[in-house]
């Protein structure tokens, strides 16, 4: 029974061919394509309003050099939210529960922010490794600690997204299994458990959106230190 709970996180395959590429590419088909007309439908209007608001809030603390990342970060935010929300539907697969995929997003983007900092302002970028006013005896220790914390950043990004989504999916499956088991024996308890399951599903919808936002927000904060 316990092994079957984790089967939902296995990458689906057909005839030995992994289908995770389809699961990643499919969300892009669902987005409405903006038209050249002056008047758009409600869906495109809401989509444009959401992207504009998110981009303006995200770019607010960044200088003009960081605004070049607006398209990339907004696209990543929309993509992560769509994948996380689709993963809450029955009989679907959530690619963002795979640590390898999340690290594939986190490591290159984090490395790009570090490379930009080293290229544009190497003195300030290296200065982050040693706080001002540090005693001489603590300088080697603090440099090692700050360097380790710098390299842990992409790991924290990937693990945070993976752990939150995985825990939510497991909890939903455990409570849903309890509802089916209790329904023939104790219908009242099963109904109460189903109510908890409904509320937990609403919470997971919020978590799916919040975790995507936190992922992109932390990337923007890393970028803010280096531009």
Residue pLDDT, tens place only, 172-194: 988 988 898 888 888 898 899 99
Bridge pairing between strands 17-18 and 13-14: antiparallel
CA–chain centroid gap for 172, Å, is 19
The tens digit of pLDDT for each residue in 70-98 reads 889 988 998 999 999 988 888 888 888 88
Residue 191 falls inside a structural domain: yes
Residue 126 falls inside a structural domain: yes
Residue 72 falls inside a structural domain: yes
The pTM for the full model equals: 0.84
Residue 208 falls inside a structural domain: yes
Tell me how many domains the chain contains. Answer: 1
Residue 2 falls inside a structural domain: no
pLDDT tier, 199 (very low <50, low <70, confident <90, very high otherwise): very high
For 7, which DSSP code?
A: G
Closest C-alpha to 105, from 126, 129, 84: 84
Q: Which domain holds residue 169?
A: 7-226
Residue 99 falls inside a structural domain: yes
Please say if the pLDDT value at position 1 is more than 60: no
Tell me how far apart the alpha carbons of residues 191 and 203 are, in angstroms, rounded to a whole number.
18
User: Are 223 and 180 contacting, i.e. CB atoms less than 8 angstroms apart?
Assistant: no
Residue 45 falls inside a structural domain: yes
For residue 4, how many other CB atoms are within 10 A of its CB?
A: 9
Residue 56 falls inside a structural domain: yes
The tens digit of pLDDT for each residue in 46-66 reads 888 888 888 888 888 788 878
Rg for the chain, CA atoms, rounded: 22
User: Are 114 and 125 contacting, i.e. CB atoms less than 8 angstroms apart?
Assistant: yes
Give 125's Cβ-side CA count (13 Å radius): 17
Please say if the pLDDT value at position 6 is more than 70: no
């Amino acid at each position: 029974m316990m092994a079957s709970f984790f089967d939902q996180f296995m990458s689906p395959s057909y005839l030995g061919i992994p289908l995770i590429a389809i699961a990643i590419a499919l969300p892009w088909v669902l987005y409405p394509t903006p038209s050249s007309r002056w008047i758009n439908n409600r869906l495109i209007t809401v989509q444009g309003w959401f992207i504009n608001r998110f981009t303006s809030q995200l770019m607010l603390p960044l200088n003009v050099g960081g605004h070049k990342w607006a398209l990339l970060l907004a696209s990543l935010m929309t993509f992560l939210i769509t994948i996380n929300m689709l993963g809450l539907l029955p009989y679907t697969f959530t690619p963002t529960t795979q640590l390898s995929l999340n690290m594939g997003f986190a490591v290159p983007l984090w490395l790009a922010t570090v490379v930009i900092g080293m290229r544009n302002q190497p003195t300030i970028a290296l200065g982050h490794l040693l706080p001002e006013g540090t005693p001489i005896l603590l300088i080697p220790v603090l440099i090692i600690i700050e360097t380790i914390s710098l390299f842990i950043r992409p790991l924290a990004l990937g693990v945070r997204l993976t752990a939150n989504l995985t825990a939510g999916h497991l909890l939903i499956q455990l409570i849903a299994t309890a509802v089916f088991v209790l329904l023939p024996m104790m219908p009242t308890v099963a109904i109460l458990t189903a109510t908890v399951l409904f509320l937990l599903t609403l919470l997971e919808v919020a978590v799916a959106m919040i975790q995507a936002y936190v992922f992109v927000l932390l990337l923007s904060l890393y970028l803010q230190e280096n531009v």
